[in-house]
């Protein structure tokens, strides 16, 4: 750590002590939660901590990896709110716009994101999740517009989004990937309807999006028609990078909650429990180190296929172990859960955390899919037979 790094750490700690909301977990309605997310994001933008990974011309952008780490570490250490509402905008939409969009699209949308415009990701469909290329939502070009009909599902916070990163099918000919096109869709267009999905823990973190003859200007296309698969890779890569570093740091920041649970359960002399706690602390540190190494490799342009899958898999398995230990320690009291957790993964509401931990074995590619990538594309093991799932069904 350099003197500059130390100074940055002190500066952020002071700022967090003054500005971070303390009561954000007590929001009892979705509307109150969304309002608190918007206000926290605006504060972060104002202070230059919202988008340290953006280029230098943006407020707080152009930070080195070491500086980004310090910012995320301090935000996690102080248990500040995770930006559930704006992470698709600042990570996914930014990466897509920065890597693949036209200069005009970039200069139109990036400032709006910092002003609080929120985005959702409209990729998954019923029947197109792990096999994303099976997308069926259809876009037909008619003059200056694409007319889009179909259905999207599991779109995080879509009910509050202004814009959507939309992957659609423009052709049914040739390989599945070659018929996909990438569009930026205004969620207020006629024909777009959104239905929140009520989850087992009381959250409504995702929504279904129904598209009925929605007219999207051709100027809203990113890349060429039929090149949507390549653009989608830029979007997907962003969710396997910084997002995981931030989440890993948050899990490490919340280790204190597990030690508190050990105390509360009166098990500070229970050698079995202490062994589990120690093993978990080491494992959490290892996940953080994996996330750090991955980001460094990406910045050095040295990323290999499978690297991201290792971090994703290590994080999701560790989060499961983290919440399992919490539920075990909290005993019967741990069976209670808060009615709304808003995608919080390390809240200390153990049953809710436990249920939420399953989400991360699926989001951004399931554990099974990550294992396939590591086995087949990294280790060179034999590929699984095509369509084995559907063919195995009676």
Using CB under 6 A, list all residues that contact ligand FAD: 120-124, 129-130, 154-156, 206, 359, 362-363, 365-366, 368-369, 372
Check 73, 74, 205, 239 and give the catalytic one.
239
- The torsion region of residue 216 among left (phi > 0), alpha (psi -120 to 50) and beta comes to beta
| Between 59 and 129, CB nearer to ligand FAD | 129
Smallest distance, Å, CB 385 to ligand FAD?
10
| Between 7 and 389, CB nearer to ligand FAD | 389
> What is the rounded CA–CA span in Å between residue 258 and residue 77?
14
Cβ contacts of 11-18, under 8 Å, gap ≥ 24: 12/49, 12/70, 12/71, 12/74, 12/75, 13/74, 13/78, 15/47, 15/49, 16/74, 16/75, 16/78, 16/80, 17/78
Considering only CA atoms, which of 174, 152, 166, 153 is closest in space to residue 215?
Answer: 166
Instruction: Calculate Rg over the CA atoms of the chain.
Output: 21
| Between 121 and 349, CB nearer to ligand FAD | 121
Smallest distance, Å, CB 241 to ligand FAD?
16
Is 239 noted as a catalytic residue in this protein? yes
> What is the rounded CA–CA span in Å between residue 90 and residue 163?
13
| Between 155 and 220, CB nearer to ligand FAD | 155
> What is the rounded CA–CA span in Å between residue 157 and residue 215?
22
| Between 273 and 355, CB nearer to ligand FAD | 355
Considering only CA atoms, which of 390, 322, 328 is closest in space to residue 361?
Answer: 322
Query: Are the beta carbons of 319 and 251 closer than 8 angstroms?
Result: yes
Q: Sign of the C-alpha dihedral, residues 220, 225, 227, 229?
A: positive
> What is the rounded CA–CA span in Å between residue 248 and residue 226?
36
The residue number whose beta carbon is nearest to ligand FAD equals: 129
Smallest distance, Å, CB 169 to ligand FAD?
15
Residues recognised as catalytic: 239
């Amino acid at each position: 750590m350099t003197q500059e790094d130390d100074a940055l750490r002190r500066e952020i700690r002071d700022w967090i002590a003054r500005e971070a909301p303390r009561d954000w977990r007590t929001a009892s309605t979705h509307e109150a939660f969304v309002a608190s997310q918007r206000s926290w994001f605006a504060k972060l933008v104002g202070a230059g901590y919202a988008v340290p990974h953006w280029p230098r011309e943006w407020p707080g952008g152009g930070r080195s990896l070491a500086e980004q780490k310090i910012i995320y570490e301090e935000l996690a250490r102080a248990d500040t709110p995770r930006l559930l509402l704006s992470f698709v905008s600042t990570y996914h939409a930014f990466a897509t716009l920065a890597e693949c969009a036209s200069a005009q699209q970039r200069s139109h949308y990036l400032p709006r994101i910092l002003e609080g415009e929120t985005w959702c990701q409209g990729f998954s469909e019923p029947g197109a999740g792990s096999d994303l290329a099976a997308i069926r939502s259809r876009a037909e070009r008619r003059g200056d517009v694409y007319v889009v009909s179909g259905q999207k599902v599991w779109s995080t916070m879509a009910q509050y989004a202004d814009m959507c990163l939309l992957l659609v099918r423009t052709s049914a000919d040739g390989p599945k990937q070659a018929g996909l096109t990438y569009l930026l869709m205004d969620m207020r267009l006629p024909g777009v309807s959104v239905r929140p999905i009520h989850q087992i823990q009381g959250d409504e973190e995702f929504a279904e999006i129904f598209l009925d003859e929605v007219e999207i200007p051709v100027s809203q296309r990113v890349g060429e028609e039929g090149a949507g698969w390549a653009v989608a890779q830029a979007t997907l890569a962003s969710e396997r990078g910084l997002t995981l570093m931030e989440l890993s740091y948050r899990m490490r920041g919340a280790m204190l909650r597990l030690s508190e649970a050990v105390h509360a359960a009166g098990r500070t002399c229970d050698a079995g429990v202490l062994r589990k706690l120690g093993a978990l602390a080491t494992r959490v540190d290892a996940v953080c180190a994996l996330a750090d190494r991955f980001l460094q490799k990406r910045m050095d342009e040295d990323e290999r296929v499978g690297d991201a899958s290792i971090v994703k898999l290590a994080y999701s398995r560790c989060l499961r172990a983290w919440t399992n230990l919490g539920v075990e320690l909290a005993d019967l009291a741990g069976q209670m859960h808060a009615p709304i957790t808003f995608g919080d993964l390390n809240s200390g509401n153990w049953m809710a955390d436990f249920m939420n931990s399953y989400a991360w074995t699926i989001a951004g590619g399931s554990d099974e899919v990550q294992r396939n990538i590591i086995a087949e594309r990294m280790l060179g093991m034999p590929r699984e037979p095509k369509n084995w799932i559907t063919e195995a069904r009676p």
